[in-house]
Amino acid sequence: MNADFTIEELAFQKEVRTFLDNEFPFEFRTKIDANRRLSKKEIIRWQKILYEKGWAAPTWPVEFGGTGWSQVQRHIFATEMGLIGAPEPVPFGMKMVAPVIMEYGTEEQKNRFLPDILESNVWWCQGYSEPNSGSDLASLKTTAVRDGDEYIVNGAKTWNTYGQYADWIFCLVRTDNTVKKQEGISFLLIDMSSPGITLRPIVLLDGHPEVNEVFFDDVRVPVNNIVGEENKGWTYAKLLLTHERSNIAGVPRGKRRLRGLKRIAADTDDGFGNTMLENPRFKNKLAEVEIQLQALEYSELRTLAALSVGKAPGPESSILKIVGTELAQEMDELFVELAAYSCLPFVPEQFEDGFQGVPLGPGNSAYAALNYFNNRKASIYGGSNEIQRNIICKHVLGL
């Protein structure tokens, strides 16, 4: 048993590091360290840099312009990116809809959609959840009714992340009301500029309109925008969910944030003449987080090793989702604890692109509470942690 990289893998790691050192824009690093949101334009700029290098799509096969990397190479790349805080591509196109199109789409769809995803020319969003269909996704009610060469779509989707920036949306829609709920669902690609689509921004607890409600009012969609067969959408969606859940552990990001916690703790007075890094209670909490991060990392590596020898991502990925999100939330709390009074000011605009003023509070401490509130989402979305535990009960423990 060993967890070592091969010589080739180590060389690859070095190549990735050198590339990131040279090519990841310095001003992005500064912004990310200051907890500023990168703009859409900036994310695209970074994606184009990766694209030029041929690394835009680490998980795609070569035939579609991907890297064709092994599991370990992907892991190395994701790790190095995460350690410096480089943004991953917006997942909806690259990681979610693209694999479905590759697997079940027509040649025409592959040619039409994949290159623009690869080059970040077209942005996607995910239209699954509905106001009354969250955890029980299969109960969704948005309908698509065939009318000649078109579907007419009616209904509402919600919690649509970054819908305001998206050019296209991939939706699960009901195309048959007469069968078992999972069997009447289709996977439909819809141009966001279609007449009849309206967005209502939803402001989250951090003051940011990160998600939207999307209304469909007699929206006409060409039938050739359906992926795969009519009424088979549920099967495709499930494939997508396993992709959504991979890489969810967030170990590199966790390591980066742990470094951040230690740095801030060293700069924060505990009020009694020591720094928070010297404060025994806080030190213990940091240690506990670090230990959990190590347990998570090695769990992820074990999963990775299984994937490398061709096993499909199984329900074990639920472990990574649950532990990864809950550990991230624990770190959120530690940032709040360090910031103390300084995280109370609610000034979300100071973390927006283009903010010119002087931020309140030392070292961006006012970000800590915003982030704590916002990241409560992590245990809710992507299959809530309760649903993940149900999966473990059912598929692993046989309960």
Ligand X SMILES: Cc1cc2nc3c(=O)[nH]c(=O)nc-3n(C[C@H](O)[C@H](O)[C@H](O)COP(=O)(O)OP(=O)(O)OC[C@H]3O[C@@H](n4cnc5c(N)ncnc54)[C@H](O)[C@@H]3O)c2cc1C
Which residues are known catalytic residues? 244
Asked if 317 and 242 touch (Cβ cutoff 8 Å), the reply is yes
Compute the residue count for the chain.
399
**Interacting partner of 362 out of ligand X, other proteins, none (Cβ under 5 to 8 A depending on kind):** other proteins
Rounded distance between C-alpha atoms, residue 227 and residue 188, angstroms:
6
Task: Give the torsion through C-alpha atoms of 281, 284, 289, 290, to 10 deg.
Answer: 150
* Smallest separation, CB 129 to other proteins (Å): 7
- Residue partners of 145: CB distance under 8 A and separation at least 6: 151, 152, 154, 175
Strands 124-127, 168-174: pairing is parallel
By CB under 6 A, tell whether 288 contacts ligand X: no
Choose among 9, 49, 46: nearest CA to 29. 46
- Report 209-268 residues binding ligand X (CB under 6 A): 210-211
Strand, helix or coil at 151? strand
Other beta carbons less than 10 A from residue 379's beta carbon: 17
Question: Quick one: tokens of 14?
Answer: 């070095």
Q: Contacting ligand X (CB under 6 A), which of 320, 350, 377, 391?
A: 377
Q: Whose CA is closest to 250, among 68, 43, 75?
A: 75
Least Cβ distance, residue 108 to ligand X (angstroms)? 26
Indicate the residue whose CB is closest to ligand X. Answer: 134
Query: Cβ 384 to ligand X, closest distance in Å?
Result: 3
Shortest Cβ distance from residue 129 to ligand X (Å)? 4
In the list ligand X, other proteins, none, the entry touching 396 (Cβ below 5 to 8 angstroms by class) is none
The CB-of-92 to ligand X minimum distance in angstroms stands at 7
Of 42-50, 124-132, 220-228, 284-292, the segment contacting ligand X by CB under 6 A is 124-132
State how far the Cα of 250 lies from the Cα of 258, in Å rounded to an integer.
12
Q: What burial class does residue 338 get, using C-beta atoms within 10 Å of its C-beta: 0-12 exposed, 13-18 middle, 19+ buried?
A: buried
Contacts of 323 (CB under 8 A, 6+ apart): 249, 292, 295, 296, 299
Residue 279 contacts ligand X per CB under 6 A = no
Binding of ligand X by 161 (CB under 6 A): yes
Say which entry of ligand X, other proteins, none residue 160 contacts (CB below 5 to 8 A, set by partner kind). Answer: ligand X
Judged by CB under 6 A, the stretch of 46-54, 58-66, 156-164, 342-350 that binds ligand X is 156-164
**Maximum Cα–Cα distance for the chain, whole Å?**
76
Q: Pattern 338-367, binding to ligand X, x per CB under 6 A? A: ------------------------------
Minimum CB separation of residue 392 from ligand X in Å reads: 12
How far apart (Å, rounded) are the C-alpha atoms in residues 23 and 13?
Answer: 15
373 binds ligand X, rule: CB under 6 A:
no
How many beta carbons lie within 10 A of that of residue 18, not counting itself? Answer: 10
Q: Between residues 41 and 281, which has the closer beta carbon with respect to other proteins? A: 281
Query: Residue 364: which of ligand X, other proteins, none does it interact with, CB under 5 to 8 A by kind?
Result: none
Q: Is 386 in the site for ligand X (CB under 6 A)?
A: yes
Binding site for other proteins (CB under 8 A): 129, 132-136, 139, 158-159, 202-205, 207, 211, 268-273, 281-282, 333, 336-337, 340-347, 360-362, 369-370, 372-374, 376-377, 379-381, 384-386, 389-390
Site residues, ligand X (CB under 6 A)? 125-129, 134-135, 159-161, 210-211, 377, 380-381, 384, 386-387, 390
